[in-house]
């Protein structure tokens, strides 16, 4: 009984681990690394814009300071979006060349 | 089922080693199928370890004494709850628990990131499997939970008496969940360093795991303190014991990381600091397990001591060396992208808070390892006690609480003095009012450190109330919602921020409890006979009578105490001491109970204002003649006849009790420590709770649209 159970466990483990190898080389649907690396700062920038707004609404920033900060943050976000667009364009070109 | 357990562990080791090799090969060759196979090895590892865990758990529940571990840590008379949890009272079982939890969390994070962090994840997989391989190797080669008992005993030894406390049984899984969850950000940080992909996406992907680690480890530490207060008969909740300290250190650096990671995410700064913090936290988590499992330092957790010190030390040395080399060789990639724009900004306050937290960790580290350091330098082992720790940790703790109030009212990037003044006005007034009120409490003004802590806590509370009020007001103006709906929306939309604020309140409440109970407690050690009364901390404690109780596992001798205040009875307390039989066959049938292990059951009246804590130490020596006489006359007594004789000893104790030693403590606001801990946990849960994806998408879409409009104009 224990022997059979042990064999079953072994077979199940091998089946789980070896499945990707049996399928062979799978197409990699991974997003381009550069795009992925820009997504996190973009989301962080959105959060920062929202936090600045909350800081303003909870009286931690004066109107003038908030407007200046918000402008700066949005400029940084736009720069990130530009970089993202460029990275996406490059990835598309690379894909069509391949 | 022993063999099935052994097969599972051996297979687990092979799977872990294979997974490391497959992940590294896949990462270096770019062959995704090998990376996927390595990730699936983690799932398989979780599966086989779950089976091994179930096999061992079933053996404990069935009292299967063919497992040597079951016989040495449980018995047929052990209550089912303790049978189910006795596994981790043992060295072998707790190591299995450690690696099982690691495999579960690793599976979860690798599943969640299977389509993200493509370059980092294979190395993180290899690191997580490296941790697993080390711990599985320990349970395969050095501390196997699946050893055959030969001969099979008819009855087990039972659970270590000190561990028979509900919170003690939940405490290890909490601590180990914390330790193993901290391995997740550690592994991804290593992956990010190796691949030089040091954008903050690995922090974002593992933030929830770091937060969960912090949450579980904090709960584990608190449960340990609760156990110490209500189970250990010394009358305290924190003894600066090496093992307690070992669990606190990674929690402190983890707390620092959770704060400073925000700066890296928002501003691209403090990269070296963050990566160092997360690596240090991972190493400290292993160090915590090492301290409890090695017995290298004297501890109340000596039941966990073993000979695993050398392999652990080797593993920690490899971790430290690897981390240092990686960070030093990646300094160029860790350059900051931003800079501090003002000293008066939330970033600066977070940095200060980080320095305090790391300072606390360093003090605790130094004090904990001082015996080893002094032995290495002078040849003599010297240790430092609570007064040494208090000298340094108390001012740092006050600074920490104060900073947790200052941070929320300072804006990111740059705050102006004018705004800061406006935001500090109300909290400062509330703090001044609290200080004035506290000065009227007798004795408080003579304790400046305690007074400072109370004021700092009042400041934090006022700041958070102000912040929540202003946030709610802003929300009502924007959406026209009613106050309760606005509050709920505010919390839902800003879980991290407001969850953090709730945590700050909890920490302040907890520290008020610590300051009050350690500064203003009344302790009295005294010998009493029935009928005598003693005063302590405004209470009269009257020793009514002695008690005894016989159960299959132990003999209990105790006392019934009447607690009076201003002549009025407020409670009856029943402290006792349980005597568990020694396994030494040379001892007599009744004497073996009184020469074995003994534990205190505390008589406790707990409340939010104060706890009255009592413990008794019956004078067994005075009854020695009777005990020895019975053992001489009936040396072979067993079963029912031994029970009758133990009953006679108990009856004699009740009728003619010798004076007993009592420790009586009246400690104010101890309950605030547990209340504060619960508030911290609630805040942690708010921060951990995932934001509804629809709301997140809406927010991102709104900003994208707004920025899109700007982009088209630019």
Put simply, the answer to whether A9 touches B48 (Cβ < 8 Å) is yes
pLDDT band at A96 (very low <50, low <70, confident <90, very high): low
Buried residues in B652-679 as b, exposed as e (16+ CB within 10 A) = ebeeebeebebbbbbbbbbbbbbbbbeb
DSSP string for residues in B500-539: HHHHHHHHHHHHHHHHHHHHS-EEEEEEE-TT-EEEETTE
Give the Cα separation of B193 and B28 in Å (integer).
15
Q: What is the pLDDT of residues B367-388, one digit of tens each?
A: 998 888 888 788 888 888 899 9
Confidence tier at B692 by pLDDT (50, 70, 90): low
Q: Which of residues 382-411 of B touch A (CB under 8 A)?
A: 409-411
Q: Does B196 touch chain A (CB under 8 A)?
A: no
Disruptive mutation site among A26, A31, A49, A60 for chain B (greatest number of B CBs within 10 Å): A60
Range 489-518 of B in CB contact (< 8 A) with A = 494, 497
- In B541-615, which residue ranges form alpha helices assigned H by DSSP? 591-594
pLDDT in tens, B536-561: 999 999 999 999 999 878 899 999 99
Indicate the helix (H) or strand (E) that contains B555.
strand B555-565
| pLDDT band of B628, cuts 50, 70, 90 | confident
Closest residue of B to A3, CA-based? B4
Instruction: Flag whether pLDDT at A94 surpasses 70.
Output: no
Write the pLDDT tens digit of every residue in B63-105.
Answer: 999 999 999 999 888 889 899 989 988 889 999 999 999 999 9
Asked if pLDDT for residue B713 goes beyond 80, the answer is: no
Range of the domain at A50: 30-97
Structural domain spans, chain B = 1-159, 164-334+343-384, 416-519+683-713, 522-668
Residues forming a β-bridge with B67: B148
| pLDDT tens per residue across span B181-213 | 999 999 999 999 999 988 888 888 888 999 999
* Cβ within 8 Å, pair B474-A58: yes
Q: What are the structure tokens assigned to B711, written together?
A: 């982009």
For chain A, say whether B425 makes contact (Cβ under 8 Å): no
Percent of chain B with pLDDT over 70: 95
pLDDT at residue B10 greater than cutoff 60: yes
What H or E segment, with its residue span, contains residue B104? helix B91-112
CA distance to A44, B26, B524, per residue, from B184 (Å): 21, 20, 47
CA-wise closest residue to B191 among B322, B30, B22: B322
- The alpha helices in B236-270, defined as continuous H runs, are 242-267
> Across the interface, do B700 and A2 touch by the CB < 8 Å criterion?
no
Kindly state the average pLDDT of the residues B318-330. Answer: 96
Flag whether A70 is in a domain: yes
Please check whether residue B636 is in contact with residue B672, taking contact to mean a CB–CB distance below 8 angstroms.
no
Structure tokens at B384: 């430092």
A98 versus B288: the higher-pLDDT residue is B288
Q: Six-digit token pair at B521?
A: 């407690």
Contact B418 A62 (CB under 8 A): yes
Q: Say what the pLDDT of residue B608 is.
A: 92
Q: How far is A96 from chain B (nearest CA, A)?
A: 21
Contact B228, B237 (CB under 8 A): yes
* Domain count along chain A: 1
Q: Tell me whether residue B99 is exposed, middle or buried, using C-beta atoms within 10 angstroms of its C-beta: 0 to 12, 13 to 18, 19 or more.
A: buried
Give how far B270 is from chain A: nearest CA, Å.
15
Mean pLDDT of the B456-470 span: 96
Q: Which of residues 338-377 of B touch A (CB under 8 A)?
A: none
A82 and B711 in contact by Cβ < 8 A?
A: yes
The tokens describing B329, both together, are: 């060789």
User: Pairing state of beta strands B555-565 and B610-617?
Assistant: unpaired
pLDDT at res. B565: 95
- Kindly report the number of other CB atoms within 10 A of residue B551's CB atom: 9
What average pLDDT is seen over chain B? 90
Nearest-by-Cβ selection for A55 from B11, B412, B477: B412
pLDDT (average), residues B420-440: 92
Residue B110 pLDDT grade (very low, low, confident, very high; cuts 50, 70, 90): very high
Task: Give per-residue pLDDT as tens, B274-308.
Answer: 999 999 999 999 998 888 776 666 655 655 556 68
Distance CA B492, CA B695 (A): 9
Contacts B479 to A, Cβ<8 Å: none
What pLDDT does B286 receive? 93
pLDDT tens readout for residues B11-31: 999 999 999 999 999 999 989
Structure confidence at residue B642 (pLDDT)? 78
**Which residues on A lie below 8 Å from B478 (Cβ)?**
57
- pTM, entire model: 0.90
Distance from CA of B517 to the nearest CA of A (A): 36
* Cβ atoms of residues B87 and B304 within 8 Å: no
């Amino acid at each position: 009984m224990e022997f059979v159970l042990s064999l079953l466990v072994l077979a199940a483990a091998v089946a789980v681990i070896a499945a990707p190898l049996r399928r062979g080389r799978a197409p990699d649907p991974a997003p381009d690394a550069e795009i992925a690396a820009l997504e996190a700062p973009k989301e962080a920038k959105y959060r920062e814009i929202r936090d600045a707004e909350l800081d303003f609404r909870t009286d931690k920033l004066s109107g003038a300071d908030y407007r200046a900060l918000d402008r700066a943050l949005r400029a940084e976000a736009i720069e990130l979006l530009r970089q993202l667009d460029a990275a996406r364009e490059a990835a598309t070109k690379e894909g069509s060349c391949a | 089922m022993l063999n099935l357990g052994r097969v599972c562990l051996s297979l687990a080791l092979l799977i872990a080693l294979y997974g490391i090799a497959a992940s590294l090969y896949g990462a270096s060759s770019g062959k995704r199928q090998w990376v996927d196979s390595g990730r699936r090895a983690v799932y398989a590892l979780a599966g086989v370890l779950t089976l091994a865990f179930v096999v061992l758990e079933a053996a404990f529940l069935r009292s299967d004494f063919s497992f040597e571990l079951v016989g040495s840590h449980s018995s047929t008379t052990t209550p089912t709850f303790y049978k189910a949890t006795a596994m981790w009272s043992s060295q072998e079982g707790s190591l299995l628990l450690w690696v099982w939890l690691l495999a579960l969390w690793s599976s979860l994070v690798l599943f969640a990131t299977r389509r993200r962090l493509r370059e980092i994840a294979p190395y993180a997989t290899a690191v997580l499997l490296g941790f697993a391989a080390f711990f599985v190797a320990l349970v395969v080669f050095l501390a196997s939970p699946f050893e055959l008992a030969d001969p099979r005993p008819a009855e087990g030894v039972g659970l270590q008496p000190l561990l028979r406390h509900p919170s003690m049984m939940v405490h290890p899984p909490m601590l180990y969940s914390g330790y193993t969850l901290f391995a997740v950000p550690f592994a991804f940080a290593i992956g990010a360093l190796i691949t030089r992909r040091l954008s903050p996406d690995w922090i974002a992907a593992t933030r929830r795991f770091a937060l969960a680690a912090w949450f579980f480890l904090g709960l584990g530490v608190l449960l340990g303190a609760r156990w110490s207060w209500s189970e250990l008969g010394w009358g305290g909740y924190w003894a600066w014991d090496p093992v307690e300290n070992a669990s606190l250190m990674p929690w402190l650096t983890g707390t620092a990381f959770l704060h400073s990671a925000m700066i890296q995410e928002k501003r691209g700064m403090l990269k070296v600091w963050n990566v160092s913090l997360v690596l240090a936290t991972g190493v400290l988590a292993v160090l915590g397990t090492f301290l409890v499992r090695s017995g290298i330092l004297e501890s109340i957790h000596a039941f966990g001591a073993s000979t695993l010190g050398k392999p652990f030390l080797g593993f920690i040395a490899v971790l430290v060396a690897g981390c240092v080399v990686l960070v030093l060789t990646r300094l160029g990639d860790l350059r900051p992208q931003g800079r501090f724009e003002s000293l008066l900004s939330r970033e600066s306050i977070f940095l200060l808070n980080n320095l305090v937290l790391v300072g606390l960790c360093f003090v605790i580290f130094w004090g904990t390892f001082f015996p080893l350091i002094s032995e290495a330098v002078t040849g003599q082992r010297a240790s430092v006690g609570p007064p040494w720790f208090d000298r340094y940790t108390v001012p740092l703790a006050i600074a920490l609480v104060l900073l947790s109030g200052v941070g929320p009212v300072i804006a990111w990037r740059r705050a102006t003095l004018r705004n800061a003044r406006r935001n500090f006005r109300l909290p400062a007034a509330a703090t001044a009012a609290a200080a004035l009120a506290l000065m009227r409490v007798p004795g408080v003004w003579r304790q400046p450190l305690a007074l400072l802590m109370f004021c700092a806590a009042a400041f934090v509370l006022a700041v958070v109330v102000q912040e929540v009020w202003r946030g709610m007001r802003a929300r009502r103006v924007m959406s026209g919602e009613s106050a309760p709906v606005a509050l709920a929306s505010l919390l839902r939309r800003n879980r991290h921020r407001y969850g953090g604020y709730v945590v700050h309140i909890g920490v302040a409440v907890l520290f008020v409890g610590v300051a009050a109970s350690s500064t203003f407690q009344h302790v009295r050690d005294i010998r009493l006979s029935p009928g005598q009364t003693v005063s302590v901390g405004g209470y009269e404690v009257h020793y009514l009578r002695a008690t005894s109780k016989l159960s299959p596992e132990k003999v209990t001798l105790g006392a019934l105490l009447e607690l009076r205040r201003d002549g009025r009875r407020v409670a009856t307390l029943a402290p006792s001491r349980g005597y568990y039989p020694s396994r030494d066959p040379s001892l007599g049938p009744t004497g073996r109970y009184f020469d074995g292990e003994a534990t205190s059951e505390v008589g406790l009246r707990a409340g939010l204002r104060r706890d009255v804590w009592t413990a008794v130490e019956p004078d067994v020596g005075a009854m020695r003649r009777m005990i020895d006489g019975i053992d001489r006359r009936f040396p072979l007594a067993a079963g029912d006849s031994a029970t009758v004789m133990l009953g006679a000893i108990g009856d004699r104790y009740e009728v003619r009790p010798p004076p007993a030693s009592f420790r009586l403590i009246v400690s104010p606001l101890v309950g605030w420590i547990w209340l504060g801990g619960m508030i911290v946990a609630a805040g942690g849960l708010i921060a951990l709770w995932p934001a509804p994806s629809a709301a997140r998408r809406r927010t991102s879409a709104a900003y994208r649209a707004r920025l899109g409009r700007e982009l088209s104009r630019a």
